Amino acid sequence: MRTFTANELVEKIWARDASLWTSSGEEKWLGWLDAPARSLAQAGEILAFAEQALDGVENVVLLGMGGSSLAPEVMRLAFGSASFHVLDSTHPSAVRRLASELDPSSTFYLVSSKSGSTIETRSHLDYFWALVSEHGKRFAAVTDPGSDLEKLARERGFLAVLAGEPTIGGRFSALSPFGIAPAALMGVDIERFLSRAEEMVEACRGTTGNPGLELGLELGEGWRQGRDKICIPEHASGFGLWAEQLVAESTGKQGKGLVPAPGELPGDTDREAVELRIENSYELGQEMFRWEFAVAVAGAYLEINPFDQPNVQEAKDRTSAILSSGAEPDLAPRGSLDALLAAAGPGDYIAILGFVDPTPENDAKLAALAKRAGETTGCVVTRGFGPRYLHSTGQLHKGGKANGLFIQVVDDLGQELAIPGRDFGFKRLIGAQAAGDFAALEEHGRPVVRIGLEEEL
């Protein structure tokens, strides 16, 4: 077990010294340390883009997944933006509903993907591109330089292409254009927002009173003592949605990991209590940086690379194989829920994976299932909508410690919704994603069952 002094932890992070982790290229992924300053320098450009984009516009839709959607969703909730919408579901009912609720002639679409090839986001783009009759000026893209999305956006005459920073991974990109461009479209004072974040950057440079270091030490020392469930308090911003991906995808690998548990209460010996420091919406950015720094510190304790995601591709590959086969995904019930819950023991956690229409009503049903699972087992219970969680906690589920038990929930996917230019529609896509993830979990020997939304709840 390696040990570092507080001074060494801080110095090595700011020196971009990969030996703090595994010396496997971590230094290439530390651009998030400078993201607030870099975004402040770009603020004028981003604000000018937002002014153009919002001209004659009543609603904005962000098409993105994971690191491209979770920070904007939390910002939307924090600032109460009713005209900004985030689409990160491939459920045909969710896509239909959003399309029917908004007037295409007064809606602007921001397509956000670091790689530019994310299947969900590209499918959303194909659908809404046809819906607005290929009107390029109603679209903009946020993507890394040289991506396929950048090329497509320029070919189609998008209003703008905003460049991401290649040295920042998706889950660390909240304070880069992936989070700041959406914030500008919500009407957030991004210069004030980023200036507050810069205050946290400076606070995290020292070893005395360093908020990010202090949180990272809590996470790392807690993990060494068996407290691997991180109880993140509920907050009006939904901060836990964003923190889940940051913590789970960063630490859940090599049979280790911290399990983010938004809304769960501390008390048991496997739980670590943490606090959030968000007294107003403009403190959200600095809290995000504090958690990013903390996760980098915790990664040193776990002796893993906090900036890769080696198991995320598995479910994607299985999804692609099912779609290529031409076969209909098998979503029949599998296993016994009661038997799964009975098998849970101390130190385990339950994850509810809902491939259902992400409505408040269905979220309430998943919450009721979570309550039942928690009361039955005494374990921490997490829940998430698919396919969003595949880009968030999915890495932990497959690469982390084998202490998770998984309940996949599916609903009636309804009628197919065609995706222009594709030989599959949204119904088949989300079905393949559910079936692919189930198979990936089974391959890793994870206990998993599948139930119907209405059958068991």
What is the tens place of the pLDDT at every residue in 435-446?
A: 999 999 999 999
Residue 235 lies in a domain: no
Cβ neighbours around 395 below 10 Å, total: 27
Residue 6 lies in a domain: no
Taking the C-alpha atoms of residue 303 and residue 19, their distance in angstroms, rounded to an integer, is 10
Lowest mean pLDDT among 268-277, 311-320, 328-337, 444-453: 311-320
Longest dimension (CA), the chain: 59
Which of residues 131, 165, 193 is at a domain's end?
A: 193
Residue 373 vs residues 191, 269, 339, 432, 450: alpha-carbon distances, Å: 44, 19, 12, 26, 14
* Burial class (CB within 10 angstroms; exposed 0-12, middle 13-18, buried 19+) of 120: buried
What pLDDT does 457 receive? 57
Residue 283 lies in a domain: no
Instruction: Work out the percent of the chain whose per-residue pLDDT is above 90.
Output: 95
Q: What is the mean pLDDT of residues 310-319?
A: 85
327 and 181, same structural domain? no
Q: Which two tokens stand for residue 218?
A: 């809590």
Q: To the nearest whole number, what is the mean pLDDT of the chain?
A: 96
What pLDDT does 315 receive? 78
What pLDDT does 423 receive? 94
Query: What are the tens digits of pLDDT across the range 130-182?
Result: 999 889 999 999 999 999 999 999 999 999 999 999 999 999 999 999 999 99
Helix (H, G, I), strand (E, B) or coil at 365: helix
Instruction: Work out the percent of the chain whose per-residue pLDDT is above 70.
Output: 100
Strands 139-143 and 448-452: unpaired
Q: Which two tokens stand for residue 224?
A: 């060494």
Which of residues 164, 193, 222 is at a domain's end?
A: 193
Amino acid at 404: G
Residue 275 lies in a domain: no
Residue 229 has pLDDT above 70, yes or no: yes
Q: What is the mean pLDDT of residues 45-53?
A: 98
Residue 365 makes CB contacts below 8 A (sequence gap 6+) with 453, 457
Residue 16 lies in a domain: no
Residue 243 lies in a domain: no
Which of residues 170, 193, 216 is at a domain's end?
A: 193
Q: What is the mean pLDDT of residues 402-411?
A: 98
SS3 percent helix, strand, coil of the chain, rounded to 5, is 50, 15, 35
Taking the C-alpha atoms of residue 64 and residue 177, their distance in angstroms, rounded to an integer, is 13
Helix (H, G, I), strand (E, B) or coil at 445: coil
Instruction: Indicate the helix (H) or strand (E) that contains 360.
Output: helix 360-377
Residue 227 lies in a domain: no
49 and 188, same structural domain? yes
Q: Which two tokens stand for residue 175?
A: 């304070």
What CATH code is carried by the domain that includes residue 173?
3.40.50.10490
452 and 325, same structural domain? yes
Beta partners for 362? none
What is the 3-state secondary structure of 167-226?
A: CCCHHHCCCCHHHHHHHHHCCCCHHHHHHHHHHHHHHCCCCCCCHHHHHHHHHHHHHHCC
Residue 93 lies in a domain: yes
Structural domains counted in the chain: 2
> 151: domain range?
35-193
187 and 336, same structural domain? no
449 and 319, same structural domain? yes
What pLDDT does 2 receive? 87
Cβ neighbours around 272 below 10 Å, total: 21
DSSP 19-85: GGTTSSSGGGG-GGGGHHHHHHHTHHHHHHHHHHHTTT-SEEEEE--GGGTHHHHHHHHHHT-TTEE
Residue 251 has pLDDT above 90, yes or no: yes
- Residues 69 and 118 sit within 8 Å (Cβ to Cβ): no
- Residues 162 and 181 sit within 8 Å (Cβ to Cβ): yes
Instruction: Indicate the helix (H) or strand (E) that contains 314.
Output: helix 312-325
Helix axes of 43-53 and 190-203: crossing angle, nearest 10 degrees: 150
182 and 53, same structural domain? yes
